[in-house]
Amino acid sequence: MLMKTAIEEILKNIELATDYIEESTISNFLDVITKSNNIFVIGAGRSGLVAKAFAMRLMHLGIGTYVVGETISPAISEDDSILAISGSGETNTIVSAVRIAKDRGSKVLVLTSYPESTLGSLADSILLVKGRTKVDIDNEDYIKRQIDGNYTSLTPLGTAFELTSLIFLDGLISELMHKMGKTENDLKNRHTVLE
């Protein structure tokens, strides 16, 4: 059954993710987030949905958060930071927004599979999130992958990257809760009641 194999591949990628988490990077992300006046998040497509999920949790923690492109997002300043999610690190709209933020003196946090990318070169801190991205599709040898038993095509386009990013960022929320002395009830008290 392909569905079961696909789920196993996704879970394997997430499990391997803990092998390349660097404590110093997590510590830096936490410091930037807690010291910023506001956190702006950006991602395109499904990575954008991951960014919005993270923004919601930051809001639940009481951290000023904006999603780039939403009509209520104010100007970014040097006391703010931007968190950008891009598997390739080359998504034009994200790179452009990050350049503007950097020019305005903001800190730049990046989640990508390609630290050497344009986005990576603009980052103050990079969280490496391995996972098959759209870039990998152009560079793959399909037959070799199948012979090796690597069925990553069951996680199309950026699925592995996006889901691993979501898990990473939820883990970061747990670290923030601990650092800020927040409980689940604190988050629940800030959850919307208009639904």
**Catalytic center residues:** 162
The CA-based angle 179-113-84, given to 5 degrees, is 55
The residue count of the chain comes to 195
Q: Which of 15, 3, 1 is CA-nearest to residue 164?
A: 15
Residues 6+ apart with CB under 8 A from 132: 13, 152, 155, 158, 159, 160, 161
CA 59 to each of CA 52, 63, 67, 142, 191: distance values in angstroms, whole numbers, following the listed order: 10, 5, 11, 42, 9
